Structures are given as structure tokens and as C-alpha cells.
Chain A
Amino acid sequence: MMTYFPEEVVEHIFGFLTAHCDRNAASLVVQGVVPPAARLRRNCYAVRPERVAARFPAVRSLTVKGKPHFADFNLVPPDWGGLAAPWIEAFASSPTAAAAGGRGGRAGGGGGGAPLEELRMKRMVVSDECLETLARSFPNFRALVLISCEGFSTHGLAAVATHCRHLREIDLQENEIEDRGPQWLSCFPESCTSLMSLNFACLKGEINVAALERLVSRCPNLRSLRLNRAVSVEALSRILMKAPQLVDLGTGSFWVDHRSEAFHRLISAIERCKSLRSLSGFWDASPLCLPAIYPICSNLTGLNLSYAPAIQGSDLIKLIRHCWKLQRLWVLDCIGDKGLAIVASTCKELQELRVFPSDIYGAGSATVTEEGLVAVSFGCPKLHSLLYFCHQMTNAALITVANNCPNFTRFRLCILEPKKADPLTNQPLDEGFGAIVRSSKGLRRLSLSGLLTDQVFMYIGMYAKKLEMLSIAFAGDSDKGMLYVLNGCKNLRKLEIRDCPFGDGALLENVAKYETMRSLWMSSCDVTLGGCRALAAKMPMLNVEVINERTKAKSRGSPSDFHKVEKCVYRTIAGRGTTPRFVWIL
């Protein structure tokens, strides 16, 4: 429809699309000249990479997300897809991209070559080969951010370090990276002095500490540095002496004899870092080493202790008491309700709290309950983002939290035992979550847990008008539950459901809704293959995928009314290239 408007009109209309997502949505259907979108975000199967590269040749910053969110929890088979290579190759080899790069070549950058400068990828499969392609094809490349990706090794990092002359940022968050030696750090040439951010905390192997120290010494703009477990306290002290300007630090191994000289050197080194605002790492941290950071605690706005299970109870409390400017806190549940009460009384600026379980498989002697959350809600009025793993929750507590904190944008509650009721009343938690959605009118992301009936979905459909992402597990009684959400939540983009009694009726009642959404995931629900087929037939623009790992070995002839394990609906225009054998595109 838009193709019939003259270009000036199209550009004029584009001017009104201020929401980032709207621009992306609109640009997919418009032919002809599109204002060169500098930044693009795509789902990796929403559109073919070659098309994007051809249409947006001058793209400088690209974000691509691969596997569905539930892949984080092993619900997606490993060979499902989400390959980075097609994207990197498309931008590397696109002739228009190369031409655009040549035309608008930045001063100091390479003459020709594609102009891509930043690549952010999440849940993608990245290979060493495509990292090498990236390093060689984009002469102005500056920033690589990989989150929850896999498939590459330190060799790929070496390629990036070697060939990217203007590198500013390498940020590796929680990736599975194969260790093939520590040489990659030595690959940064002596001429590389532009690094501002380096995060290799998730690397498992040894690193070349001397090379790291030299690199840090020659990069005066280094603001963020996150080390891995292989970096000792002694090395950390030397590095901090060379980089006292750091704003964000992830320590390496945080263990040293607290009576030793090394410990005192650490204290002096940390004291010099007056700009330090955010701390993480603390691998193998012993509580006796914590006093080393006391001098700078009062400057901290961010603190991540979620990988330090040895720091518990009273030691955590002693530390938190120093951190009164904290805005973002990530801890383990061994902080306990008492510890959270101290957070509440100390951290008045707190905006984001994440409490992770320390003992996933056992009982866990130190845990948190609804009491801790209630305490925080009383003490921290600015709280708007929550991820809370706990052993129990009550409606009364949730209602209190809702009253105290009406500004939640993200509320994710995980009661560890599926379908656990309110222990005080034995009731479902419908009223509690209902209170949260009613009070936090700006809520964009919600994850539910505990015993829940269709009623909670009625509340969500009624009140959660700004909700964009909803995660449901072991909840609901009937199709009505899912329909309340689909019919009521106007801004819903992503809906992920596992182990709920929602079937074909719910799936097929409001199919037009899926056109306004980015994705739907349903696993271990009551949806049948027939239902998925019907959906695919009704909505040819949607990419409906069925994943069934267990038929991998069987023949491909599919029985008709067969229950699937999972199904995934993507909003897409192009189909995807190759599919593994256990995925059926309908």
C-alpha cells in the first residue's frame, strides 16, 4: 500500500514514527527510498539478511536476536538455528553496503568496505569463521556485543583483536566460549589504544595477564573492564594501578590471604579508583576479602554479587550497609529476608533488584520469602525492575508490594515450586498478581509463577495495557485464560507459555492478534498439530514452526492429530533458510 506514495510522503510519514519498533515494522513493507536507518534491530528469522543489507546499506549498528527466550532454559533443541553467519556475510558482501561505505567513509576509517560499526547479537550461534569474516570485512568496526551466544572460541576473538583497528568495545556476556588458548589478548596490536570497554568475564580458561596489563596501560579511555576467574588479585591490583579511571569493574578471582601484602596492595589500588560506580565478578570471593572494597562502596550505583555464593548473611549485610547509593543490586538468595531488610533501610535509591537462587537443586538453608520483598517495597520507593526467586509468596505480600511500588516496568517473580499456593490461605495468587498489574500501569514485562487460575489472566487482560512481554508457566485452567491476554493486552509483543492447559481453541480464536506481536511460544500445552496447521493456513504471513525432538528418529510422515512438544510462531515475511530435521514449518 505504501509503495504507491511518492517518496516525499513516505519520508514525511516516517518522521512521525518515533517509537523504534514502529520504524522497523513500517520499513519492512515500504519499497523505494527509506531514510537510512542508522540502527536496526531484527529477529534473525523475521526477514532475510540479504534484504536488510540491500535495503539498509548504510547501517552502522545492527542488533540481531536468535533463539527464543525459552532457549535459555534448555527448552529449544541445540541445533535449532539462530546462525549469525548469514547476517555477517550479507553485510560483508552486499555491494550496496560496500558502495555506501566507500561514499560515506569516515575520516580515518578504511576507504571502501561495509560501514557496519556495531554488532549486537543475543542467543545466536556464532562461529570463529564468521568472526573472522566480520573482522576482515568491516574496516570501521568498533563494537561487538555477544549475549548468551555459543559456537565460537578464543580463536574468533583473536581475529577480531587482530584486524579491527578502531575497536572500542568487546562485551561478552554469559556466552559459551571454547577455550583454545590465551593468545587472543596478545593479538591486540600496539597501535590499539581506543578500547573503552572490555568484558571477558565468561571466558573459562587462562589468559595472558602480561598482555592484558599492557593493553590496559595503553588504553586511557578504558571505562569498563570485566575480568574472568583466571585473573588473580595480584594481577587485579596491578591493572587497577594502571587504570584508576575505571567506572565499571568485574573482578577476577577475588580471593587472597587477608593478612598478606597482596591484600593491602589491593586495598590501595581500589582506593585510587574514585570513578568506580559498578562492581561485579567476585569469583571465589571469600568474605574476608570484602573489606577491600569498603572505601569505594559509597560511590557504587551497581553491585553484582550473584556469582559469589560464599558471601552470605552477616558479611553481605556488613557490605550493603556501605552502599547507600545503590541503584542496581544483583544478589543470591543467601542474603535472606534479614539481608533484604537491610537493603531496604540502606539503599533508598534502589531501582533494580535481582535475587537469584543459590541452591537450585537442594533445599537451601538460606532463602528468601515474601517478607524480604515486602521489606524492600517499603524501603525502596524507586524500585521499578524486579527478578525474584523465592520459596513462597502470599497474596497479602503482593498486594502490599503493589501499593508501595506503583512504578514497576519489569516484574518477574519465580516461586521455585511450580503451582505453589499462598501458604497462609492456600489460595491461588490471582489477587496478588492482579494487584501488581492494577497498580503498575507502566508494566512492560511480567513473569508469573505459583498457583494461578484463569482469573489472573482476566486481571492481566483488563489492566496490563502497556504489557509487552508475558511469561507463563504451570498456570491457568482453560482456553479462557490465554484469550483474556490475547484480547486484552493491546501492546503485547511476546507471549511465552509452558505447561498450561491452553489448546487449539485459544490458539485460533484471535489469529489477527499475532500480526501485532513479535512471537508466541507454547510448549507442553494442549495445542495439536492440527491446530498449528489451521493457524498456518489462516495466516500465511506467519512462520509457524513445530519442534518435536522426539520424532527425530522416526520417519517424516506426520500423523495428523498428534500432540507436539513445542510450537513457535514468528511474525515473518521471509521464511528461514535451512531448518533442522526436528522442525516443521507449516
Chain B
Amino acid sequence: MTKNMEKEAALRFGDGENFAATELRLGLPGTRERETATKVLPTGSKEGGTKRTATEIESNDFDREAKTQVVGWPPIRSYRRNTFRSMKRDEEKAGTYVKVSMDGAPILRKIDLEAYKGYKELREALEDMFKCFPSGESVRVDAREYAVTYEDKDGDLMLVGDVPWE
């Protein structure tokens, strides 16, 4: 990336007007054209789309953070930025593991929701997981007697399957 910037610098050196040489840019060489009247810079926010250039659409392989960020903009202290970045990372690392309990079973299990493609698969996996726990009366668990429920963020008990899997 440094090479590209230096190349741009060489091209515009001696221009006298254009300080593109010293601008920090991220993008494929030659793809970014600057408007002379106003400096068009990559936008920090995504909801407008009015100032996007071609580079932003095609640079999917770049880190999304890096591509849309003008250095030092928005003006947020590094401490705050870094804290939020690590919070986000923690969230993503935690994944989608949830605790599963069954009425009558003495211990709980944990599953990764992302490992399943749909509710049917989830149900089958749960039945499989809990069939080793005999309930009080019968040795074999009759799966049809059990409903899979979950507790949502409001604390309410909900039946699994109403909301689209995604």
C-alpha cells in the first residue's frame, strides 16, 4: 500500500497545488479520482450513499473498518475506539452458545446455534443430546412430548420456531 501512495506522490510532486502526496489513502492504485472543487473522502457512515466512489464498492476484500475510515475521523479518542473494538470482538468470539436444560434432567448442556441449519436440525440434535437422561417414569424419552422453548431478552418464555431461523 505504501508503494501505491509513493507512486501517487511521484506523479503529483511539483504540482504545487495538490497535496495528494501526503494524503493517506487506502485503495487499489489508479481507481480513485479526486474531484478538484471539493475533496471527496470516503464516508464514515453508511446510510447516505451519495458520495461513494467505485473503490468502496469493490474493495470487499479490505477490512471494512480500514476502507471507510479517514484517519482520525470521526474525532473519537483512541481509548474509546479501542474499547469498543474489543467489546465487539468479545461479542463475536462469544458466538451463539446457549444453555439447554430439559425438565427432569439433572444437568444442562450447551450448544452452538450456529452449528445448525434450521429448527428441524436443532430439534434432532436436542433429542439426541437428551435421550441419555431417563425421565422419572419411562426409560426412553418420548420426544413428541417435549416442547422446545427459550427465554428471550425480556425474560418471557417463548416457543421455539416462530421466528425465522436467521
Contacts and interface: CB of A to CB of B under 8 A. Distances in A.
A72 B47 contact: no
Contact of B76 (A73, A258, A447, A524): A73
Interface stretch (A94-102, A107-115, A414-422, A435-443): A414-422
A206 to B, nearest CB: 15
Interface string B19-45: 101110000000000000011010111
B78 A74 contact: yes
Given A75-B71, A524-B22, A524-B23, A417 B45 contact: yes
Interface residues of A, number: 47
Given A174-B77, A356-B80, A417-B44, A563 B19 contact: yes
Contact of B45 (A258, A287, A309, A364): A364
A176 B74 contact: no
B47 A391 contact: yes
Given A75-B71, A307-B83, A416 B16 contact: no
A75 B23 CA distance: 12
B21 A363 contact: no
B155 interface: yes
B41 A362 contact: no
A526 B23 CA distance: 12
B45 A148 contact: no
A414 B75 contact: yes
A471 B75 CA distance: 11
B64 interface: yes
Nearest to B20: A563
B72 interface: yes
Given A550-B22, A563-B22, A148 B79 contact: yes
Interface in A544-586: 548, 550, 561, 563-565
Contact of A74 (B72, B87, B155): B72
A70 interface: yes
Contacts of A362: 46, 64
Contacts of A561: 16
A200 interface: no
B45 A73 contact: no
A133 to B, nearest CB: 25
Nearest to A308: B87
B69 interface: yes
A202 interface: yes
B33 to A, nearest CB: 17
Contacts of B64: 361-362
For chain B, which range describes its interface: under 10, 10 to 19, 20 to 34, or 35 or more residues? 35 or more
Contacts of B79: 148, 174-176, 202
B81 interface: yes
B48 interface: yes
A474 interface: yes
A431 interface: no
A191 B7 CA distance: 64
A288 B47 contact: no
B43 A360 contact: no
A473 B69 CA distance: 15
Contact of A416 (B74, B77, B83): B74
Nearest to B75: A73
Main SS of the interface on chain A? loop
B51 A417 contact: yes
Interface string B89-129: 00000000000000000000000000000000000000000
A175 to B, nearest CB: 7
Interface in A407-425: 414, 416-420
Contacts of B68: 361
Contacts of B46: 362-363
Contacts of A361: 44, 64-65, 68-69
Contacts of B9: 550
Contacts of A565: 22
A370 interface: no
B65 to A, nearest CB: 5
Contact of B21 (A419, A499, A563): A563
A358 B19 CA distance: 33
Nearest to B46: A363
Contacts of B75: 72-73, 414, 447, 471, 473
Nearest to B66: A361
A566 to B, nearest CB: 9
B64 to A, nearest CB: 6
Given A309-B87, A414-B75, A416-B74, A526 B19 contact: yes
B10 to A, nearest CB: 12
A498 interface: yes
Contact of B77 (A72, A357, A363, A550): A72
B137 to A, nearest CB: 29
A418 B70 contact: yes
B22 A360 contact: no
Interface of A: 70, 72-75, 148, 174-176, 202, 258, 287-288, 306-307, 309, 356-358, 360-364, 389, 391, 414, 416-420, 447, 471, 473-474, 498-499, 524-526, 548, 550, 561, 563-565
26 contacts: A70-B72, A72-B77, A72-B78, A74-B78, A174-B80, A175-B79, A176-B82, A202-B79, A360-B74, A361-B65, A361-B69, A362-B46, A363-B45, A364-B45, A389-B74, A389-B76, A414-B74, A418-B43, A418-B44, A419-B38, A473-B75, A498-B72, A548-B22, A550-B5, A550-B9, A563-B21
| Leading 6 A-B pairs by shortest Cβ distance | A73-B72, A363-B46, A174-B79, A563-B19, A565-B22, A72-B77
